[in-house]
Structure 1
Amino acid sequence: MFKVLRVLALWGAAGAMVLFVGGRGHAEGILELEGILEPSEVVELSSQVPGIIDEITVSRGDRVRTGEVLARLKSGVEQAAVELARAKVDFVKRKLVRNEELFRKKLISMHEKDELETEITLSELEEKEALERLRLRTIESPVDGIVVKRTGAPGEYIGEGSIMTLARIHPIHVEVIVPVEYLGLIRKGMKAEVISESPAGGRYQVMVSVVDHVVDAGSGTFGVRLKLPNPKYTISAGLKCRVRFNETPVKLEKG
């Protein structure tokens, strides 16, 4: 004998479709909602110091790595300061070596030797400060990601404004707006399926990483986020998708 199941698809608020499959007055729900694929991080990159852009090493659409040099400001003055500080350190060290023999012969006092050693320490600190000022003229990527926009160009002055925008798309954040009646049913760690609607899309098994506990009173919804790994950058951000929460229980009245 074959078991007869009832299948009913209903559309609800916020683009939600609930597929009920069951029999004899009970059902099991599969909640499917619209989602959007977003970068996990967007960085408006600027310079820590104002100056004239000397070079930019990347263009829009390029992949970048954390620590990779993206741009440099003109730094002739800072480079000269580093070389001057290094020369001073070398001179003071040679001076101390020459006076070591005099100290052993007690031709100079302990106080004079201490002054020389302190002078070396101060010179090394000046060198370190000059190097840090020089490093501020180099702009590095804080994330692994994609160059979304480049606003600066060599020869331009940069102050407080952005020089480029970076987007981290590994992982991608899948943002979903969920009707309030499912509050408490969708939990962190719950499994779900992301169905990409792009031409090169696919189906991906992921887990819920964030569930908002504050409901938007105006729309009667709350936010849910899922992390979608994208190590090869094959999935593009900014696209719509469908998210199916296969584990979500839906209570129905007994018929």
Structure 2
Amino acid sequence: MPVSAYGQPTRNKEEDNCLARAVNERRQTEIIMTRTSYSGPLCSLLPGLLLLACGSVAAAPANSRTGDILGCLLTPAAEAEIGSPVVGILEQVLVDRGDSVRKGQVIARLMNDVERAAASAATQRSENRAEVAAAKAAYEFAQRKAERAEELLLQNFISPQARDQAVSEAEVAAMRYAQAQEQRMVAREDLSVAHAQLRQRSITAPFAGVVVERYLQPGARVEDKPVLKLVQLDPLHAEIVLPATRFASLRVGQNAQLSPEMQGASPIQARISRVDAVIDAASNTFRVRLVLPNPGNRIPSGLRCQVVFEEGPR
């Protein structure tokens, strides 16, 4: 085996490729173990056996090229356990496992009798114009009375004290009119709060996807527990571990041919959406994320796949 200038063994490109494949297999195995809660001895031994096999390629000629076939695993673009921002009793669950939902679609509701009553009362207060109209009429009358008092004072028909009283009454009426307007503005703000509290009793989908788990039934108390689990299958993601020797040949936006291991599936063009900027020193590898369009959710998540990167500019 060749050695570096520091006396340390070096790996050729074929060894790097083999190591990357082993890391890929280990990552895929970890994902499967996480999703299926399986921790059998075969799953734990497989990555180690693949790493040991890499030692047998030390004498083989290097053959690192962009067209190498690499293994991958398809995963959802997004995954979330959906809960409620408020505590309450679950009244309805409007979707079930396997249902497709739109972004913003109501998927569950909590009991909301109190919130609906509060919103109705706030609506009535915000639409009540009688108090403002009465205060406005009183202000306009007091203003006219004060103006007449000024004219009468000039003609010596009333005393200065009577004029001052009329002016003071106009000022008080003006303040009451302003207060009525402010109270109506507060009522409108209360209405916005009441509607926001009512909306919180409806649980909506944060993104378009498919329901994969339903945890609670109507009547259950919703607190810290999620109600549903939602995944986004369009697009799908595939993360691949590559040897550091490939770093210069890949870029964001570069295309790749991805073949799902599914009967009748044809190769599909995927695109690199992310390339790690840091090389893992222990394995001399880095990760690349591919985005795969999946209209109609035709390809399920969790499938193994194979990828061939198209030649990109250097």
Q: 1:13 aligns with which of 19, 29, 33?
A: 19
Equivalent residue letter for 2:213: K
Q: 1:132 aligns with which of 190, 196, 199?
A: 196
User: Quick one: distance in 2 between partners of 1:143 and 1:27?
Assistant: 40
User: How far did 1:31 drift?
Assistant: 1.8
Instruction: Give the alignment's TM-score, normalised by structure 1.
Output: 0.83
Q: 1:210 aligns with which of 257, 261, 274?
A: 274
Q: Please name the residue that 1:81 is paired with.
A: 118
Q: Please name the residue that 2:205 is paired with.
A: 141
Q: 2:133 aligns with which of 91, 97, 113?
A: 97
1:158 aligns with 2:194: no
User: Quick one: distance in 1 between partners of 2:248 and 2:65?
Assistant: 17
- Deviation per CA, 1:68-87: give whole Å up to 9, x if none: 00100011111111112122
Aligned residues: 232
- Kindly report which structure 2 residues correspond to 1:1-255, keeping only aligned pairs within 5 A, or say none: 12-15=18-21, 30-91=67-128, 93-106=129-142, 109-247=173-311
User: Quick one: distance in 2 between partners of 1:60 and 1:44?
Assistant: 13
User: Quick one: distance in 2 between partners of 1:175 and 1:199?
Assistant: 22
User: Quick one: distance in 2 between partners of 1:90 and 1:144?
Assistant: 37
- Asked if the contact 1:14–1:33 (Cα under 8 Å) also holds between the matched residues in 2, the reply is no
Could you say what secondary structure the match of 1:105 adopts?
helix
- Asked if the contact 1:39–1:171 (Cα under 8 Å) also holds between the matched residues in 2, the reply is yes
User: How far did 1:29 drift?
Assistant: 5.1
- Asked if the contact 2:66–2:249 (Cα under 8 Å) also holds between the matched residues in 1, the reply is no
- Asked if the contact 1:71–1:138 (Cα under 8 Å) also holds between the matched residues in 2, the reply is yes
User: How far did 1:28 drift?
Assistant: 6.5
Instruction: Report the more deviating stretch, 199-208 or 99-108.
Output: 99-108
- Asked if the contact 1:31–1:246 (Cα under 8 Å) also holds between the matched residues in 2, the reply is no
* Unaligned 5+ runs, structure 2: 1-13, 23-62, 144-169
- Deviation per CA, 1:159-206: give whole Å up to 9, x if none: 112111111111111211112332222222222100111124221122
- Asked if the contact 1:30–1:248 (Cα under 8 Å) also holds between the matched residues in 2, the reply is no
Larger Rg over CA atoms: 2
Equivalent residue letter for 1:60: R
Equivalent residue letter for 1:235: I
User: Quick one: distance in 1 between partners of 2:189 and 2:251?
Assistant: 53
Higher helix share goes to which structure?
2
Instruction: Give the alignment's TM-score, normalised by structure 2.
Output: 0.68
Distance 1:94 1:31, change over 3 A: same
User: Quick one: distance in 2 between partners of 1:28 and 1:214?
Assistant: 21
User: Quick one: distance in 2 between partners of 1:224 and 1:197?
Assistant: 20
User: How far did 1:217 drift?
Assistant: 3.2
User: Quick one: distance in 2 between partners of 1:57 and 1:35?
Assistant: 35
Equivalent residue letter for 2:19: A
Q: Please name the residue that 1:19 is paired with.
A: none
User: Quick one: distance in 1 between partners of 2:245 and 2:99?
Assistant: 43
Distance 1:155 1:88, change over 3 A: same
User: How far did 1:228 drift?
Assistant: 0.8
Aligned-residue identity in percent: 31
